[in-house]
Amino acid sequence: MRHFRFPPQLFRLVLLTLAIVGAYLVARTLLTPQSFGEYGWYRGSALAEIASRTPVFAGKKACAECHADIAQKMAQSEHKTFSCEACHGANREHAMDHDVVPAKVPDSYCLRCHEGNPSRPSWIKQIVVKDHYGEKCSDCHLPHQPTQSP
Amino acid sequence: MKTQFNRRSALARLGATIAGALALPVARKAKAAVQYFLVSSGAPKGYDPKDHKWLICVDATKCIGCGLCAEACKKENGVPEGPYFRTWIERYIITKPKPGSEETRGETLVDSPDGGMHGFPECPVPKDQIEQSFFVPKLCNLCEHPPCVQVCPVGAAFKAPDGAVLIDPDYCIGCGFCVQACPYGARFLNPITHTAEKCTLCYHRITRGLKPACVEICPAEARIFGDLKHLAPDDPLQQFYETHRTQVLKPYLGTEPRVLYAGLDEEVR
């Protein structure tokens, strides 16, 4: 019986295949970001990167830490659903550093919600500006307790 | 000069190359570990995306069209100026049917000037011609099966385990497939970075225990936000979906949105 010899051309083919598969595996380990596949087919560390943005709005809780008196008044008024920053604007800087003075609310700001508009639901009080008394809203209405007068 | 290239040196070089290739991932892991403990990336620690499931409810009957949400979203997320919005308000105006017609209603007009962020101008239809008019806040619908994620060729669009549909800005190549795929029009290409952008559910806020900016700022409580995995006994979210009949936008697409609407008209899509 003749001794079986593995054909050299096949042997080279096997070696080449192994080299290609090996190169692919090495390249994949090197090129795939470490957190890829942590939660799914994406970079898991992207979650933390997206979350690392700094917030701009401080949130109602932060305001109430110092301005508890106003927060308490507002909690009983029609404006109880308001976040302070809805009218006073984004004020995280003021919450972090009390020396930063927040901008004043323009007097016509009330109209943003209360100007009559046929698309607005009827539950919100609306006025037609030219038919309404007075010039300044705050002459007759306290913004924090809108049904009370100063 | 003859180059020395024998079997021994070739094997040694091969061995060194393999060792180097294997050492690299180890070195990167070590670097990541050092970074995690020593360098503050600004990302809140201790947030586990698998421990949350966010949900937003929108009460369309409460929206007063003030546009504070759209404005706050732009400020909070640094969205570029111009017609780029992660959340916006649409105004629907349904006119009265033509006299003598057997229809119950006339035409439906929809507009959203500047995304509604500066309020809405006068109604383009005289008041006595309006059958019904209302505002609808829109945002990413947080699909359970997001079409935008399916079409992303590079794995940049993804749905996080907590339900937020996000974009990896480092991986996005700005091809715009996802912008076309989104049935709710919630995505756009940022003209500065040339990558796709969308509502992140204010991911930087919710991971810190704050509400998304639009929810925080809405004076009418038209948007209710909560975590299904941590519902308080008197959670506004639970109260809302227990007491309201809700629906999703375009249910026939099978996207299973996690944004539930109450008080929608059939014209809203």
- Whether residues B65 and A120 touch (CB distance < 8 A) is answered with yes
- Whether residues A46 and B166 touch (CB distance < 8 A) is answered with yes
- Beta strands B157-159; B130-139: pairing state: unpaired
Q: Min CA distance, A2 vs chain B (Å)?
A: 32
Residues A18-34 have pLDDT tens digits of 999 999 999 998 888 88
Chain B CB contacts of A109 below 8 Å: none
Q: Min CA distance, B217 vs chain A (Å)?
A: 5
Task: Calculate what percentage of chain A has a pLDDT beyond 70.
Answer: 99
**What does the pLDDT average to over A120-132?**
91
Residues A57-70 have pLDDT tens digits of 999 999 999 999 99
Q: By CA distance, what is B50's nearest residue in A?
A: A39
Question: Alpha-carbon distance B166 to B198, whole Å?
Answer: 7
Helix (H, G, I), strand (E, B) or coil at A143: coil
Q: Min CA distance, B2 vs chain A (Å)?
A: 28
Q: Residue B152 carries which DSSP code? A: -
Helix (H, G, I), strand (E, B) or coil at B91: strand
Q: State CA A11 to chain mean position distance.
A: 60
ipTM exceeding cut-off 0.95 for this assembly = no
- Whether residues B32 and A56 touch (CB distance < 8 A) is answered with no
Residues A105-124 have pLDDT tens digits of 888 899 999 999 999 999 99
- Whether residues B155 and A117 touch (CB distance < 8 A) is answered with no
- Does residue A119 contact residue B127 with C-beta atoms inside 8 Å? no
Q: Min CA distance, B236 vs chain A (Å)?
A: 12
Q: By CA distance, what is A32's nearest residue in B?
A: B25
Q: Min CA distance, A128 vs chain B (Å)?
A: 12
Residues B21-54 have pLDDT tens digits of 778 778 877 777 776 666 556 778 889 999 999 9
- Whether residues A34 and B135 touch (CB distance < 8 A) is answered with no
**What does the pLDDT average to over B108-116?**
94
Tokens coding A88: 């006073």
- Whether residues B41 and A49 touch (CB distance < 8 A) is answered with yes
Q: Is the pLDDT score of B267 beyond 60?
A: yes
Chain A CB contacts of B41 below 8 Å: 48-49, 52
- Chosen from B76, B130, B215, B221 to mutate, greatest number of chain A CBs within 10 A: B76
- Of the CA atoms within 13 Å of residue A103, those in its CB half-sphere come to 12
Q: Is the pTM of this model over 0.95?
A: no
Tokens coding B120: 């809405």
Own/partner pairs for A111-118, CB < 8 Å, 24+ apart?
A: A111/A137, A112/B66, A112/B67, A112/B68, A112/B119, A113/B64, A113/B66, A113/B219, A113/B220, A115/B119, A117/B65, A117/B120, A117/B123, A118/B123, A118/B127, A118/B130, A118/B133
